[in-house]
Amino acid sequence: MGALDGRVAIITGAGRGIGREHALLFASEGAKVVVNDLGGAIDGSGDDRSPAQQVVDEILAMGGEAIANDDNVADWEGGQRLVASTVEAFGDLHVLVNNAGILRDKMLVNMSPEEWDSVIHVHLKGHFVPTRHAAGYWREQIKAGREVRAAIVNTSSTSGLLGNPGQTNYGAAKAGIAAFTVIAAAELSRYGVRVNAIAPAARTRMTEATPGLGDIVKAPTDPGKFDIWDPANISPLVAYLSTETCPLNGKVLFVQGGQVRLFQPWTMTETLEKSDRWTVAELAEQLPGVIGVGTPD
């Protein structure tokens, strides 16, 4: 018996990398999988239906159930088609894994508006659009008196949650996805939908192309050694978050190799307070000490 028997799952950007591993594991755990991928280059340019179809072929060859979809997840009508065609093909929808993404790294002083817009668009709108259409479907189910036990798993990144130079566009989008997760979780629980996010670390074309990371993410030369960068290490957590009985909601989890770590949300710490408005001079005198940054010379 599989952990995801009978679950219908959409996985975006599942033609390659981490999403491909999610699709293969989900199918082996009994899910019916919609393998979405427009098959673009790492910077989002171009399209090629074959990566998604290849993953579908692999799933069918191992006796699983899957269909391909090449809609752009950041496109409103594309996301609508993605959800509608899933329900049409498999009769329902239980899981949405928002995973599709692109990179256009550049230092801020050199970043073009296109590099900013495209990354924000694919990641942030590419999470909003499928979530919005799936949530609409689940709300209809609840209104029709049916029980919903659905899950959404989003994909954030340490590039945003911890901050990585050269990635203001990508990091802002990924930190935004963590905020989106927390708020969507609070809103959608009334419809039987849980929303969590992962911040993965694995060897894919994305990390292989990142300066300084390419050498680090290499597979170990000793085949008996655990490969902590294998993208397949990420998928069991995503599958668990997608099970019908998983209790987690509104959480953001780092995952790499054999490690799963809970991110603490943004939280308020040191406090400076008085029962009147602060002056600039008072703040200059007191605030640096309270928050531990020292005073300038």
Ligand X SMILES: NC(=O)c1ccc[n+]([C@@H]2O[C@H](COP(=O)([O-])OP(=O)(O)OC[C@H]3O[C@@H](n4cnc5c(N)ncnc54)[C@H](O)[C@@H]3O)[C@@H](O)[C@H]2O)c1
Catalytic residues: 157, 170, 174
Shortest distance (Å) from residue 262 CB to ligand X: 16
Binding mask 147-186 for ligand X (x = CB under 6 A): --------x-x-----------------------------
Q: How far is the CB of 39 from ligand X (least distance, A)?
A: 5
- Judged by CB, which is closer to ligand X: 11, or 193? 11
Residues 6+ apart with CB under 8 A from 192: 138, 142, 147, 148, 149, 150
Instruction: Tell whether residue 19 is a contact of ligand X (CB under 6 A).
Output: yes
User: CA-to-CA distance for 152 and 53, rounded, in angstroms?
Assistant: 23
Interaction of residue 35 with ligand X, rule CB under 6 A: no
Minimum CB separation of residue 136 from ligand X in Å reads: 19
For position 99 contacting ligand X by CB under 6 A, the verdict is yes
In the window 264-283, what residues touch ligand X (CB under 6 A)?
none
3-state helix, strand, coil in the chain (%, to 5): 45, 15, 40
Identity of the residue, 150 or 177, whose beta carbon is nearer to ligand X in the bound complex:
177
Q: If DSSP states are collapsed to H, E and C, what string results for 1-61?
A: CCCCCCCEEEECCCCCHHHHHHHHHHHHCCCEEEEECCCCCCCCCCCCCHHHHHHHHHHHH
Pair of tokens at residue 261: 């770590």
CB atoms within 10 A of CB 53: 18
Q: Does 51 bind ligand X (CB under 6 A)?
A: yes
Contact residues for ligand X, defined by CB under 6 A? 12-13, 15-19, 36-40, 42, 44, 51, 72-74, 99-102, 122, 126, 155, 157, 200-202, 204-207
